[in-house]
Amino acid sequence: MKKLISMLVTAALAITSVFALAGCNSAKETGNGTEGGNGASDFKVGAIYINSQNDTAGYTYAHHHGITEAMKQVGLDPAKDLFIVDNVPEDDEKVKQAIDQLAGNGCNIIFGISFGYINAMEEKAKEYPDIIFSHATGYLSNDKNFNNYFGRIYQARYLAGIAAGYKSLATGNNNIGYVSAWGTEYAETCSGINGFALGVLAVNPDAKINVYEISTWGDQELERQAAETLIDTYGCGVIAQHCDSAQPQIVANEKGVFGCGYNSDMTKEAPNAHLVAPVWNWDAYYATAMKAAMTDPSTFMTTVGNYYEGLNSGLVDVSELSANCEPQTKEAIELAKKMMISGEWDVFSGVKLSFSGDTGSVTVEKTNSALVTNDGKEIVAAGGPSVDDGVIQGSMNYYVEGVTQVN
């Protein structure tokens, strides 16, 4: 009998080990984290990624870096306390399976980083009321355990547009390309394109921004093809992007033009081309969310709620300017950044900025000028305040003057 009991115990332990080691698609496995305040010793974080956690640049890389950095800040060990399911497509059933897996791993909070995870996360938040569900880039939430988070990346895109504008002046090429996952279908992409364009036009009012929509958030081959078309067919001398990988910047590097990346500094991938990238410092949000969930998950929606911050909080910014930038770029960016952080001015208002002057004496002029779409519709009257956040986040479905979609 003792031998039988011993065999049963051994088998049970083996089964437990198998479940503990069951894959989270290359997830780091968990255990008790470092001892720290507010339950850090047993708090577990779950994350669902659209691409690989091993990416070295781009969208998923930026989120993964932000999550792991935030965990260190709040006393958690990513090697033990983080579970990841990566390479998850925007398919409701696949997302639900990933959520079930993370719930089974005992995760206290689950981050889903892609827009198309929205419906599955909303449904599963009801099924698992004791888990916090936090969804990036979306708009749905509830008042108990499901929020959304994003930021004013259009502000950082405006700053990148300044860099692109100066480069277009220096090269004498007014054609600027923009590889975008989507166009006016999503306010996220549309507001980013418009913010970038307005930054370009503040430096080079004769510039033309040509948008090539690939109709998917992430497809490296399509991203490459779009950049090639913008350069070869439309003669673009600067390539900006709202897509997941560094392929547009790599193509720019190969073809001897310049570019502005996204999500992470892509100078390493395109050393002779890259100017600057709008970037996310996602740890600013992730640390806030983790602290709140660790302290009292029942008050998460009142202490954190739906999160939307910008340059003022450090959530968004631009990467370090590369040596490929024109000399005036840094001064102009600092002038614009200061006005946005202070609240003196914002991108989608009826006041436009114009930069002039040489290195060491760059100045900015503010002029009351209506915000107008590329088909002549007035959005904000001259001198008027910026459009509401709800428009920027949810209903901006037009391009501003100077922007043309080419496909």
Give me the residue label for tokens 């599963």. Answer: 124
Whether residue 291 is found in the same domain as residue 267: no
Domain's final residue, options 291, 313, 335: 313
For the domain that residue 399 is a member of, what is the CATH number?
Answer: 3.40.50.2300
- Between strands 208-213 and 132-136, the pairing is unpaired
Q: In the predicted model, what is the mean pLDDT of residues 206-225?
A: 96
pLDDT band, very low/low/confident/very high, at 33 (cuts 50, 70, 90):
very low
Q: In the predicted model, what is the mean pLDDT of residues 26-46?
A: 54
pLDDT band, very low/low/confident/very high, at 1 (cuts 50, 70, 90):
very low
The predicted pLDDT at position 41 comes to 66
Whether residue 30 is found in the same domain as residue 58: yes
The predicted pLDDT at position 251 comes to 98
Q: Supply the DSSP symbol for 327.
A: T
The predicted pLDDT at position 26 comes to 43
* Helix then strand then coil, % of the chain, to nearest 5: 40, 20, 40
Which residues lie below 8 Å from residue 188, measured CB to CB, with a gap of 6+? 115, 137, 150, 182, 393
Whether residue 64 is found in the same domain as residue 176: no
Main-chain dihedrals φ then ψ at residue 197, nearest 5 degrees: -60, -45
Nearest to 195 by CA among 262, 95, 148, 147: 262
Domain's final residue, options 265, 297, 313: 313
In this structure, is residue 15 part of a structural domain? no
Q: What angle do CA 271, 312, 309 make, to 5 degrees?
A: 95
The predicted pLDDT at position 13 comes to 38
State which H helix or E strand residue 259 sits in.
strand 258-259
pLDDT band, very low/low/confident/very high, at 32 (cuts 50, 70, 90):
very low
Going from the C-alpha of 249 to that of each of 80, 161, 235, 407, the distances in angstroms are: 35, 15, 15, 20
In this structure, is residue 253 part of a structural domain? yes
Average pLDDT, the chain: 91
The predicted pLDDT at position 22 comes to 36
Q: In the predicted model, what is the mean pLDDT of residues 116-132?
A: 98
More confident residue, 40 or 157: 157
Whether residue 82 is found in the same domain as residue 211: no
Sort residue 38 into left (φ over 0), alpha (ψ -120 to 50) or beta: left
What pTM was estimated for this model as a whole?
A: 0.85
- The amino acid at 207: A
Give me the residue label for tokens 């600013």. Answer: 284
In this structure, is residue 261 part of a structural domain? yes
Sort residue 235 into left (φ over 0), alpha (ψ -120 to 50) or beta: left
Whether residue 288 is found in the same domain as residue 334: no
pLDDT at 188 over 90: yes
Going from the C-alpha of 312 to that of each of 9, 23, 267, the distances in angstroms are: 56, 39, 25
The predicted pLDDT at position 194 comes to 98
CB 243, CB 223: distance < 8 Å? yes
Over pLDDT 70: what percentage of the chain? 90
**What domain count does the chain have?**
2
Which domain does 326 fall in, by range?
A: 153-277+319-405
The predicted pLDDT at position 308 comes to 96
Whether residue 89 is found in the same domain as residue 105: yes
Range list of β-strands (E), 278-375: 278-280, 307-309, 316-318, 351-356, 363-368, 371-372
Whether residue 223 is found in the same domain as residue 179: yes
Q: In the predicted model, what is the mean pLDDT of residues 204-221?
A: 96
Nearest to 119 by CA among 143, 144, 99: 99
Whether residue 286 is found in the same domain as residue 386: no
Whether residue 396 is found in the same domain as residue 361: yes
Q: List the single range of 23-37, 214-228, 266-280 with lowest mean pLDDT.
A: 23-37
Whether residue 205 is found in the same domain as residue 172: yes
Whether residue 229 is found in the same domain as residue 168: yes
- Between strands 351-356 and 363-368, the pairing is antiparallel
Main-chain dihedrals φ then ψ at residue 400, nearest 5 degrees: -80, 170
Whether residue 107 is found in the same domain as residue 169: no
pLDDT band, very low/low/confident/very high, at 218 (cuts 50, 70, 90):
confident
